[in-house]
Amino acid sequence: MVEVIRRSDDQKGFEVLPRRWVVERTFGWMTRWRRLVRDYEQRIDVSHAMILVAMGPNLIRRNAHP
């Protein structure tokens, strides 16, 4: 479920958005894979498969070291 969080009108300056760091961390993990840094794929299913391949070692590492 994707939830869009908008800035309030009375907000001034920087304010930490809830759970934003989770998304930024995941993008950081994915950009370790050179192929995911740019959008090289022509088909969306191939792009989806590359993301799964890139995140696979992360999931294996989490399951191996609880």
Question: Left, alpha or beta for 16 (phi > 0: left; psi -120 to 50: alpha)?
Answer: beta
Residue 3 has pLDDT above 80, yes or no: no
What separation, in Å, do the N-terminal and C-terminal C-alpha atoms of the chain show? 26
pLDDT grade for 66, boundaries at 50, 70 and 90: low
Angle at 58 between CA 21 and CA 61, to 5 degrees: 125
Q: Which two tokens stand for residue 60?
A: 């294996």
pTM (predicted TM-score): 0.54
Angle at 57 between CA 43 and CA 54, to 5 degrees: 20
Query: What pLDDT shows up at residue 10?
Result: 81
Share of the chain above pLDDT 90, in %: 0
